[in-house]
Amino acid sequence: MPQEFNPRDITWLGFNARVLQEAMDKSVPIHLRIRFLGIFSNNLDEFFRVRVAGLKRAMDFKQKVVSESFYEAPSKILQKINKLVIRQQEDFDRTWKDVQREMAKEKVFIKDHKHLTPSQKAFVFKYFDEEVESNVIPILLHDNKPMPYLREKSLFIGIAMRRKEWQYESQYAIIEVPVTANGRFVQLPTENPEQKDLMLLEDVIIYNLPHIFSYFGYDEFTAHCFKVTKDAEFDLDNDINTTLADKIEKGIKSRRKGKPTRFVFDKEMDKALLEFLIKKLNLSKKDSIIPGQKIHNFRHFMDFPDVFKAYEKPVERTSFTHPEFANTQRVTDVIIKKDVLLTFPYHSYDSVIDLLRESAMDPDVRSIQITAYRLAPNSKIINALINAVRNGKAVTVMLELRARFDEESNLLWKERLEMEGVKVLLGFPNRKVHAKLCVIKKRVNNKTIQYGFVSTGNFNEKTAKIYADHLIMTSNRSIMADINKIFLALSKPKVDPTVTLRSCTNLLVSPEFMRAKIIAHIDREIEEAKAGRKAEMIIKANSVSDRTLIKKLYEAAEAGVKIKMIVRGIYCAVNQKNFKEKIYAISIVDEYLEHARVMYFYSKGAENMYISSADWMTRNLDYRIEAAIPILEKNLKKELKALLEIQLRDNVKARILDKNMRNEYVQCNSAEKIRSQIEIYKFLKNQKY
């Protein structure tokens, strides 16, 4: 029978709908509801910059080829996307109105230029004059002149201006809102100390339009915001005389000239101005032209001012030091003796920083090798590595310059690291390095001791506070040997890495054999199920879209293997009628972003478990350097499986992933409510080692 798949991009919109559900949930604290609205908006921006742009480019290719990549014709997917996005935007607008009502109950208001008190008017005029005006550059628009360059991710005010003596003519202008220079939110003075009045920067500018254009003599102004989302992909040229860093810099510049993929505007905008902008931007009916409410670029609301009544952070949201490190002076001493599994953000990330700091100062440490994909703005990881160099250690950083939207910051990190004497590797020209690895070597009594860590998430202490990930610290010799082999391959980008990577015996490494090993594990479960014996697997991932692995899941479900999936985002599998055991798939969206990748196979009772940097996506399995590390110690296997089982019992924040992507919550059929992120905290806090 023909097999069904849900289109990847449609299932991604299903994930973003789950984010919006959190904003809709009145049991969620008000500041978090606002943050979820910001996350929803930011996610959607990136979706249009990357995925919608890709679909539009794909329409230029033969339909048969593209259908195999996208599961459906790109033109049909784009039609579905537009319908879903408009529907979600309506839900977003209703939610924001509801949130504002809740804000009013706490005496927090966002005021526009029409509803200011006399003292607030004076404040806004003075604030604009002293803080904002120097950053405001009005641009007049003309029929016979090309549209000025509009920066991606920026917010713009579209202005229609008239004089009273003009009957049918308007002058148009645009102003880029200088959010980077001035911030998005301005707190206004109030007569009631319990009341908090905020004003958005664009409204500060709109209030001052008569002042800005005073020398033109205009009498009437109508002003509304809009934003343009552009294609964010760029191609790297094949010039062998150009370094990868130079190619990335060139690509970043070309990204700024990307074609518009979405135009979002205030539906109250002057109709003639709207038509003028659409014409000047060369937009057509096939482009996403989306009418919206007054406020755009809602991503800034992720950093909404702290103006609400004191929110008492639940104890379950406070990170704590892993018990193995609580009563020791040195993390290193523990790791050399035993493996430790850290689960963030429940466990403090300080232990990772401490290990690197200890290594930087330890006179016996000779070298540190580490991969870097997305780093914190003032990275403590990098600071520790620089200190290590200054203390005479040989430090190597595999820095992935092509980490999407982090290219510019990684170029700056490259410059700083090289200036400090760090050896910077840039990987291979045709594949990203996404594996999260670190190996530290020390020499004691003429003997080399190796230890380090492997993670499911970035080495980033900032995101580790909100991303739920696993990191295992180990000194296992076989694991360290494999990590060394990967770094050996990375140090020789002009040499085919196949032989070196295939010699790894413990880590599952892509693109060489991770896929094959996963399939082999599933095949063993299928054999056991067909023999009438226990067969079970649990997969936790961010995305499941690789068609080959999904077909293998279908084969396993048809044979009777019990399959449980915890997938945060994209999930393209669909239960088929011939399945002996239906796949149980859920998605958990809560205060922390579920980011870990875990694989569990019953394996005749051996219970093989891995944590990994790789999702079940073709790009991760075939086109990136990825690594999955086996969990070898029985107590850690038991701990990790217990965490998976807690999530599988979630009946508060878990949604069912089904064919129609209805995002229905798992039904609470027991008296006990299980919110997995809270229960995981309790479980880890009470663990005895």
Please answer whether residues 351 and 325 qualify as being in contact, where contact means their C-beta atoms are separated by less than 8 angstroms.
yes
**pLDDT interval class at 253 (50, 70, 90):** low
Question: Per residue in 487-528, pLDDT tens?
Answer: 999 999 888 888 999 999 999 999 999 999 999 999 999 999
User: Has residue 96 got a pLDDT over 60?
Assistant: yes
Q: Name 634's Cβ contacts closer than 8 Å, sequence gap at least 6.
A: none
**Could you report the per-residue pLDDT of 519-534, keeping only the tens digit for each?**
999 999 999 999 999 9
Q: What is the pLDDT of residues 412-452, one digit of tens each?
A: 999 999 999 999 999 888 889 999 999 999 999 999 999 99
Domains with residue ranges and CATH for the chain: 1-106 (1.20.58.310), 110-304 (3.30.1840.10), 316-504 (3.30.870.10), 510-685 (3.30.870.10)
Q: What are phi and psi of 202, to 5 degrees?
A: -65, -35
Question: Of the given ranges (247-256, 277-286, 332-341, 621-630), which has the lowest mean pLDDT?
Answer: 247-256
Look at residue 191 and give its three-state secondary structure: coil
Residue type, 411: L
Whether pTM exceeds 0.75: yes
Looking at residue 668, its pLDDT comes to: 79
Q: What is the mean pLDDT of residues 622-630?
A: 96
pLDDT given at position 239: 46
Cis peptide before 193 (omega within 30 of 0): no
Q: Would you say residue 598 has pLDDT above 80? A: yes
Catalytic residues: 434
Q: How many CA atoms lie within 13 A of 479 on its CB side?
A: 23
pLDDT at 241 over 50: no
For residue range 201-220, list pLDDT tens digits in order.
Answer: 999 999 999 999 988 888 88
How many Cα atoms are found within 13 Å in the side-chain-facing hemisphere of 397? 28
Question: How far, CA to CA in Å, does 673 sit from each of 258, 468, 589, 679?
Answer: 48, 21, 16, 10
Radius of gyration of the chain measured on its C-alpha atoms: 27
Tell me how crowded residue 482 is: count the other CB atoms within 10 A of its CB: 24
Q: Which two tokens stand for residue 417?
A: 């690291």
In this prediction, residue 240 has a pLDDT band, given cuts at 50, 70 and 90, of very low
**Residue range 634-678, pLDDT digits in tens:** 999 999 999 999 999 999 999 999 988 899 999 877 778 999 999
* Cβ(138)–Cβ(212) below 8 Å: yes
Q: With 60 as the cut, is the pLDDT of residue 379 above it?
A: yes
- pLDDT of the residue at 502: 94
Question: E strand or H helix at 417, and its extent?
Answer: helix 407-420
d(CA 376, CA 413): 11
Report the range out of 73-87, 276-290, 524-538 with the highest average pLDDT.
524-538
- Dist CA 542 CA 597 (whole Å): 7
Tens of pLDDT, residue by residue over 113-129, are: 889 999 999 999 999 99
